[in-house]
């Protein structure tokens, strides 16, 4: 089954997306026949029914991945690179259709969905270039008695678990390096957005990926079906993107079989505007860091700090930008902000804003939302936020900019680091020494300096503290899927 570059309307296009489980190269229903509904967050309407994997299906997927592992590891780096490169080409060729599928299940405006398809494809291109560069080393022990030959081997069958907010890129960021390294996979996408992952599986098959290398098991029964396969002893690696809360549960399960893990978890990013900043740059960067993906990003600017002398001007310019945004169904022309993913997310954002207001916060600007039954929240800018407001201590995950004022560099660094998370921080300044000093002092894995976007396949993405373990992308991204093996050879 393949996705064609049809330019059909949403309903017809969605009817072409496979909705079964993908195991051992076959599309099939769940063993118990269960399915679940996928909703369009702009309307609340059902757009597809997808097979709902149970325990037996998950075990079948593990068996298929295990059966394919030896042959897959024996393929040449160039063979694996060529599959990734073909998949990259196909993703770009079909970007319009894939973007429409993504918008229909996730809500982001079509332009952002298309940007995500391109971003997702770039992981395949990047790792197609990394596959032929897997290398080792040759040396000698200091006494000269032994040769040391170091090789790199695929970790083995992997479990990949992704969230709904970037339905395609979070998948390719794991699948790309796993293919390049020669690992087979069981992939569990989020139940809100399985269609992008199923379309991706169809496209990878078309690109030549052998049966059993990638197995996709959408499910609403994650808690029930993942633990048995995590602890079953066959899977050798788990790569997770999602909340810190779920990450902790999976780390505990991984401990039982000493499984390798990569963890891309939540964030609480500080965004700092110093008084020497170029304000055009500051507003552009803050807007990008806040509004990408309707604020539903781990990298979202969660706490914005503006130095006192520029705070009012910066806030009013950001407020003008936010209040004028067009909110609506992301498939419609001109829409700049889509709905949140579901009712619980809408409830959470509303509750966080109410909590801040009850503690003295002030709304500087608020946009409009359509009355179409979707999960829309208006873009909002808040100031005068009390330190104990909950939105400073949890991910807002919505289009709400929380701006606080500070006086000194030392004060803002203490506030910025006062969190258990450490994914990314943003700094806007024209002072090079300050930029470097603050970047060194922030407890984060990534810093956006005079920019609101850090995500790039060529860079090592990841966090410190409770934002995760390991890195995705960059030169180190493939390392997460490789083991070292060393041969001791007596010198003869």
H helix runs in 207-307, sequence order: 222-230, 244-256, 279-291
Residue 375 engages ligand NAP in binding (rule: CB under 6 A): no
Least distance between ligand NAP and beta carbon 233 (Å):
17
Cβ atoms of 203 and 90 closer than 8 Å: yes
Q: Which range touches ligand NAP (CB under 6 A), out of 65-73, 80-88, 157-165, 303-311? A: 157-165
Asked if 99 and 117 touch (Cβ cutoff 8 Å), the reply is yes
Torsion of CA 461, 442, 428, 476, to 10 degrees: -20
Please list the residues that pair with 484 across neighbouring strands: 152
Q: Which two tokens stand for residue 215?
A: 């197995």
Number of chain positions touching ligand NAP (CB under 6 A):
27
C-alpha 162/C-alpha 147 separation (Å) is 42
Q: Do 304 and 290 touch, CB atoms closer than 8 A? A: yes
Q: Which is nearer to ligand NAP, 134 or 340 (CB)?
A: 340
Closest to ligand NAP by CB, 212 vs 398, is: 398
By the rule CB under 6 A, 66 interacts with ligand NAP: no
Annotated catalytic residue, options 105, 112, 116, 264? 264
What's the CA gap between 139 and 70, in Å, rounded?
A: 28
Binding status of residue 222 toward ligand NAP by CB under 6 A: yes
- Is residue 259 within 8 A of residue 280, CB to CB? The reply is no
Stretch in the footprint of ligand NAP (CB under 6 A) among 119-127, 156-164, 411-419, 427-435: 156-164
Between residue 445 and residue 474, which ones bind ligand NAP under the rule CB under 6 A? 468
Active-site residue flag, 440: no
**Least distance in angstroms from the C-beta of 121 to ligand NAP:** 18
Stretch that binds ligand NAP, among 126-134, 144-152, 187-195, 196-204 (CB under 6 A): 187-195
Q: Which of 183, 298, 472, 480 is catalytic?
A: 298
Q: Which is nearer to ligand NAP, 183 or 190 (CB)?
A: 190
Q: Cα(167)–Cα(190) distance, rounded to whole angstroms? A: 8
- 398 part of the interface to ligand NAP, by CB under 6 A: no
CA distance linking residue 469 with residue 464, whole number of Å? 7
- Does the protein bind ligand NAP through residue 217 (CB under 6 A)? no
Of 35, 231, 243, 316, which lies in the binding site for ligand NAP, with binding defined by CB under 6 A? 243
Is position 319 an interface residue for ligand NAP (rule: CB under 6 A)?
no
Question: Is 298 a residue that touches ligand NAP (CB under 6 A)?
Answer: yes
Q: Which is nearer to ligand NAP, 40 or 299 (CB)?
A: 299
State yes or no: is 122 an active-site residue: no
**Which residues does 327 contact at the CB level (< 8 Å), separation at least 6?**
335, 336, 337, 338, 367, 368, 369, 370, 376, 378, 379
Q: How far is the CB of 177 from ligand NAP (least distance, A)?
A: 14
DSSP 19-35: -SEEETTEEE--TT--E
193/11 Cα distance (integer angstroms): 16
Question: Is residue 254 close enough to count as binding ligand NAP by CB under 6 A?
Answer: no
> Which of 246, 254, 337 is CA-nearest to residue 298?
246
264 binds ligand NAP (CB under 6 A): yes
Binder to ligand NAP among 99, 179, 226, 310 (CB under 6 A)? 226
Under 8 Å CB-to-CB from 272, ≥6 apart: which residues? 305, 412, 416, 425, 426, 427, 428, 438
Which residue is at the shortest CB distance from ligand NAP? 242
- Quote the least distance from Cβ 165 to ligand NAP, whole Å: 5
Structural contact between residues 409 and 436, judged by C-beta atoms closer than 8 angstroms = no
Is 246 among the residues that bind ligand NAP (CB under 6 A)? yes
Q: Which of 107, 154, 242, 399 binds ligand NAP (CB under 6 A)?
A: 242
**Given 69, 104, 165, 331, the residue binding ligand NAP (CB under 6 A):** 165
Distance from C-alpha of 41 to C-alpha of 50, rounded to nearest angstrom: 16
Q: What is the DSSP letter of 461?
A: B
457: tokens are 């396949």
Least distance (Å) between residue 94 CB and ligand NAP = 23
Smallest distance, ligand NAP to C-beta of residue 227, A: 7
249 lies in the site for ligand NAP, by CB under 6 A: yes
Among 61, 265, 327, 396, binds ligand NAP (CB under 6 A): 265
| Residues near ligand NAP, by CB under 6 A | 161-166, 170, 188, 190-191, 220, 222-223, 226, 241-243, 246, 249, 264-267, 298, 395, 423, 468
Catalytic machinery residues: 264, 298
């Amino acid at each position: 089954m393949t996705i064609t570059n049809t330019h059909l309307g949403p309903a017809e296009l969605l009817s072409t997306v496979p909705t079964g489980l993908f195991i051992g190269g076959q599309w099939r229903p769940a063993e118990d026949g269960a399915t679940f509904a996928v909703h369009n967050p702009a309307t609340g309407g059902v757009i597809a029914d997808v097979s709902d994997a149970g325990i037996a299906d998950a075990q079948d997927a593990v068996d298929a991945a295990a059966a394919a592992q030896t042959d897959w590891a024996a393929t040449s780096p160039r063979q694996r690179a060529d599959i990734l490169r073909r998949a990259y080409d196909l993703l770009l060729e079909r970007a319009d259709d894939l973007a429409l599928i993504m918008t229909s299940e996730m809500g982001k405006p079509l332009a952002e969905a298309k940007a995500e398809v391109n971003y997702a494809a770039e992981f395949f291109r990047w790792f197609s270039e990394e596959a032929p560069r897997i290398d080792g080393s040759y040396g000698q022990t200091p006494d000269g008695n032994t040769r040391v030959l170091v090789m790199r081997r695929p970790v083995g069958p992997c479990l990949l678990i992704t969230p709904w907010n970037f339905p395609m890129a979070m998948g390719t960021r794991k699948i790309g390096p796993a293919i390049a390294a020669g690992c087979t996979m069981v992939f569990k996408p989020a139940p809100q957005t399985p269609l992008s992952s199923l379309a991706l599986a169809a496209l990878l098959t078309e690109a030549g990926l052998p049966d059993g290398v990638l197995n996709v098991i959408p499910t609403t029964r994650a808690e029930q079906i993942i633990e048995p396969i995590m602890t079953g002893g066959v899977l050798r690696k788990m790569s997770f993107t999602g909340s810190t809360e779920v990450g902790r549960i999976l780390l505990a399960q991984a401990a039982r079989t000493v499984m390798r893990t990569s963890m891309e978890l939540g964030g609480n990013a500080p965004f700092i505007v110093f008084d020497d900043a170029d304000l055009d740059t500051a507003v552009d960067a803050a807007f990008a860091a806040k509004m990408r993906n309707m604020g539903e990003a781990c990298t979202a600017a969660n706490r914005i700090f503006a130095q006192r002398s520029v705070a009012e001007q910066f806030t009013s310019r950001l407020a003008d930008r936010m209040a004028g945004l067009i909110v609506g169904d992301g498939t419609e022309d001109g829409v700049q902000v889509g709905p949140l993913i579901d009712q619980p997310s809408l409830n959470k954002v509303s509750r966080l804003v109410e909590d801040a207001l009850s503690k003295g916060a002030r709304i500087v600007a608020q946009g409009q939302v359509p009355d179409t039954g979707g999960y829309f929240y208006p873009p909002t800018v808040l100031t005068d936020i009390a330190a104990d407001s909950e939105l400073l201590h949890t991910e807002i995950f919505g289009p709400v900019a929380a701006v606080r004022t500070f006086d000194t560099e030392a004060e803002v660094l203490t506030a910025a680091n006062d969190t258990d998370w450490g994914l990314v921080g943003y700094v806007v300044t024209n002072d090079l020494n300050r930029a470097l000093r603050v970047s060194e002092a922030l407890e984060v894995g990534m810093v956006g300096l005079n920019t609101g976007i850090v995500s790039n396949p060529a860079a090592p993405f990841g966090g410190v503290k409770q934002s995760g373990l390991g890195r995705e992308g960059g030169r180190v991204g493939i390392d997460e899927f490789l083991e070292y093996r060393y041969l001791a050879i007596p010198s003869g």
